[in-house]
Structure 1
Amino acid sequence: MKKAMFIWNPSSGKEKAADYKDFAEKTLIEMGYEADTRETTGPGDATHFAEEACENSYDLVVAMGGDGTINEAVSGLAEKQHEPLFGLVPIGTVNDFARALGISLDPEEAIEGLKTGREKRVDIGKVGDRYFMNILAIGEIAESTYEVDAEQKTKLGAFAYFVEGVKAVASDEVTTFVIEHDHGRWEGEAKLVLVALTNSVGGFEKLAPEALTDDGLLHLYIVENAALPAFARMATALVRGKFEKDPAVQAIHTTRVSIRTSEPLSCNIDGDEGSTTPFDIEIMPSHIRAIVPGETD
């Protein structure tokens, strides 16, 4: 019998993940899998479980949780000799990876979609010994998201990130960056640097409208230091899908990025704190065997 590992985070989805656990297990059994359920209790658990699934040649790994849980599961699957299929059930605050793959944000529909989905190989990024599927962000705005705790996310959802981001924009602090990429080098003061893999970042599906999950590219956006009104203008451009056209934004599409800063800064990787500068980022094309919605007539 085929083996599937179901990894779920009980604190995701405003702590409603338990409502869908039994349905997910039942669905996997109906699909002909022997279901092995693993509940996360702390950071790193989903990575360890996914690694175990690779070591024991599981056929399928399904992760249910927010972007942090999904990132951990993908990290456990990365660069392994055995490559299980990967399915995800979004039940977090933002759910960027699910949005980018066209997976329903309704957990029950996403679980049902496992039955009819098809395989698609998708890119991931790597920085040091960490991996990401959506976004790497660096700068004061990115660091402000660390101020959002689990209680705020449960009560306020994505608005909690917005509140902390506005505080950072209003600050006078700036950082000097030296950024090298396929096409050259950029040096200057910036409020925020983003390296995106998908079109959905922070719930905004138009930040990088040209980004595809399998295009083999890192989409680099440098937000130069600007006054508060310029950020209001950029927010409007973001909603309209014209973020990279803003005069304060440098948009570069590349396969590698090297970042150095005047002061050490930690980056935000798929919503969680990551490496500290300096560091190099690379694309790992077509690396994960994801289950995405099947073709429609």
Structure 2
Amino acid sequence: MKKSMIIANPSSGKEEAEKYIELVKAQLTHNGYDSNVRYTEREGDATAFAADACIHGYDAIISIGGDGTLNETINGMGGKEHRPALGVVPLGTVNDFARGLRIPLKPEEAIAVIGQGKLRKVDTGRVNDRYFINIIGLGKIAETTAEVSAEQKTVLGSLAYFLEGAKTLVNQEPFDITVQSSGQQWTGPAVLFLAVLTSSAAGFEQAAPGARADDGLLHCFVIQDTSLPQLARIGVNLLRGDFTKDKDVIYFRTQEAVISSSKPLAVNIDGDAGGQTPLNLKVLKQHIDVFVP
């Protein structure tokens, strides 16, 4: 019988992870998997559990939680020679990775996808000594949204991110960065830098409409320092899927990039705080296999 590990974050999905575990176990059993359940209690648990599954030759890892739990899981898998297939049950606030791969956002429907044999090879990214699965952000907006508490997410859902981002936008703080990629360099003031691996970022499913999860590219955006009305226009274009064409947005695609700043900037990695600049970014093309519809 094949082996699977279920990694569950009990605090995700308004603390509803527990009720989905039995459904996942039943789905795995139906598809020929024995299952071992691990619960996260503190930061780093999902990374340790996923690394253990890789070392001991598991066939599948199922992540039950949000993008943060998924990021930790990927960090446990990233550098291993054997990487099990990955199943995702999205219970987070935004669930960008699931959105980007068209994995159903309703947990029951996402569970039905697991173990069915349809696997897709998708990219992961490396930032300095860590891995990421969806997005890197720099700037006060990225920093404050990373600081949204678990309690705010539980009570307000995605509205919590919107409120924190809106407050920061009104009191924007530009920063100077240098972006080096493919032999070219850009230096200047910006209010936000993003690098994404899929089309979805911060819940906006068409933030990078040309991005595919397996194209081997970082899709990067520099939002230049501009006035509040111009930022509002950029926001409207983001909602319309025209973000990449805005005159105050620099958009480029690359396999690697180096980002430096005049002073250390906090980094948002897959929705959570993750160190400071400078950054060395690299794509690992088609690095993991994911169960998809």
For Structure 1 versus Structure 2, the TM-score category normalised by the shorter chain is over 0.9
Structure 2 equivalent of residue 73 of structure 1: 73
Moved more, 105-114 or 190-199: 105-114
Counterparts of 1:6-17 in structure 2, within 5 Å, are 6-17=6-17
Counterparts of 1:168-247 in structure 2, within 5 Å, are 168-247=168-247
Which one-letter code corresponds to 1:101 in the other structure?
Answer: L
Alpha-carbon separation, structure 2, partners of 1:10 and 1:241: 34
Structure 2 equivalent of residue 155 of structure 1: 155
Alpha-carbon separation, structure 1, partners of 2:58 and 2:173: 48
Structure 1 equivalent of residue 268 of structure 2: 268
Give the TM-score, by structure 1 length: 0.96
Moved more, 111-120 or 70-79: 111-120
Deviation at 1:142?
Answer: 0.7
Deviations 1:236-281 (A, max 9, x none): 1011110011111000111111111111011100011112111210
> 1:7, 1:46 within 8 Å by CA — same for their partners in 2?
yes
Structure 2 equivalent of residue 124 of structure 1: 124
Which one-letter code corresponds to 1:254 in the other structure?
Answer: T
Which one-letter code corresponds to 2:138 in the other structure?
Answer: I
> 1:199, 1:210 within 8 Å by CA — same for their partners in 2?
yes
> 2:172, 2:191 within 8 Å by CA — same for their partners in 1?
no
Structure 1 residue runs of 4 or more that deviate by more than 6 Å after TM superposition? none
How large is the Cα RMSD of the aligned pairs?
1.0
> 1:97, 1:134 within 8 Å by CA — same for their partners in 2?
yes
> 2:179, 2:257 within 8 Å by CA — same for their partners in 1?
yes
Structure 2 equivalent of residue 61 of structure 1: 61
Give the TM-score, by structure 2 length: 0.98
Which one-letter code corresponds to 1:218 in the other structure?
Answer: L
Alpha-carbon separation, structure 1, partners of 2:222 and 2:74: 26
Alpha-carbon separation, structure 2, partners of 1:115 and 1:268: 31
Which one-letter code corresponds to 2:157 in the other structure?
Answer: G
Q: Which runs of 5+ in 1 are unaligned?
A: none
Paired residues, number: 293
Deviation at 1:175?
Answer: 0.7
Deviation at 1:116?
Answer: 2.9
Which one-letter code corresponds to 2:71 in the other structure?
Answer: N
Deviation at 1:74?
Answer: 1.2
> 2:61, 2:87 within 8 Å by CA — same for their partners in 1?
yes
Structure 1 equivalent of residue 141 of structure 2: 141
Alpha-carbon separation, structure 1, partners of 2:172 and 2:11: 36
Structure 2 equivalent of residue 18 of structure 1: 18
Query: What is the identity percentage for the equivalent residue pairs of Structure 1 and Structure 2?
Result: 47
SS in 2 for 1:116: coil
Deviation at 1:290?
Answer: 1.0
Structure 2 equivalent of residue 258 of structure 1: 258
Deviation at 1:17?
Answer: 1.1
Alpha-carbon separation, structure 1, partners of 2:263 and 2:169: 18
Alpha-carbon separation, structure 2, partners of 1:104 and 1:189: 38
Alpha-carbon separation, structure 2, partners of 1:115 and 1:76: 21
> 2:115, 2:291 within 8 Å by CA — same for their partners in 1?
no
Alpha-carbon separation, structure 2, partners of 1:259 and 1:228: 25
C-alpha spacing 1:172/1:77, structure 2 compared with 1 (3 Å): closer
Q: Which runs of 5+ in 2 are unaligned?
A: none
Which one-letter code corresponds to 1:235 in the other structure?
Answer: G
Moved more, 207-216 or 162-171: 162-171
Which one-letter code corresponds to 2:170 in the other structure?
Answer: A
Which one-letter code corresponds to 2:215 in the other structure?
Answer: D
Which one-letter code corresponds to 1:73 in the other structure?
Answer: T
> 2:31, 2:116 within 8 Å by CA — same for their partners in 1?
no
Structure 1 equivalent of residue 27 of structure 2: 27
Which one-letter code corresponds to 2:262 in the other structure?
Answer: S
